[in-house]
Amino acid sequence: MRGHHEQTRAAYDGVVELYASMFDDRLETQPFARHMIGAFAELVHGTGNRRVADVGCGPGHLTSLLQDLGLDAFGLDLSPAMIEHARRARPALRFDEARMESLPIEDGALGGLLAHYSTIHTPPAALPALLAEQVRVLAPGGLLLVSFFGTRGPEPVRFDHKVTPAYSWPAERMTELLTGAGLATVAQLLHDPASERGFLDAHVLARRP
């Protein structure tokens, strides 16, 4: 696992400016993702706890969006170069370096957690522990929105992501993992891909009871 983290960190450190230029306005062409994030934000408001973490925040574009939607948002990322870029680009927001498997957040502190294509590089065997850590930091009633590449097959599929190897998941399997981590599914959305990879774009919104 140490090799996996180091590989992912180094890969994203090396593409910061290109990645930021590609994704800063990406949601303008992704209405389904945009509206799922909007629904997530509205439901988080309803919990009365507006504190939200954007885990795997990259250059911070979605952290900024969450803030614009009225949430108290901060970003966390494995890549120090991504965090440095996010701090320069959005100095009014908080960004910290952290691993998703060990979040620097107290138990039950958050009204919401956004994992927008940030779990895709995690090997399947390690994903249950990562999800358990995300559940740990959610308050009762808190929301998790996880977005990922979906596959129609029965098992996760490893593929050559443009930055570093990644995995696509059957939506049903991801939902089972979220249930196993102690969450109740609120909504699930699958739609045609916005890329040439051929995977579905998948979004699962779940709540901690």
Name, in order, each residue with C-beta under 8 angstroms of 161's C-beta and a sequence gap of 6 or more. 120, 121
Q: What percent of the chain has pLDDT over 90?
A: 77
pLDDT greater at residue 4 or residue 118: 118
pLDDT tens string 66-111 = 999 999 999 999 999 999 999 999 999 999 999 999 999 999 999 9
| Structure tokens belonging to residue 162 | 């443009």
| 168-181: pLDDT as tens digits | 999 999 999 999 99
Tokens 């190897």 locate to 165
Task: Indicate the pTM of the whole model.
Answer: 0.94
Give the position of tokens 């590989």: 7
Reported confidence tier of residue 1, pLDDT bands at 50, 70, 90: very low
CATH numbers and ranges of domains, the chain? 2-207 (3.40.50.150)
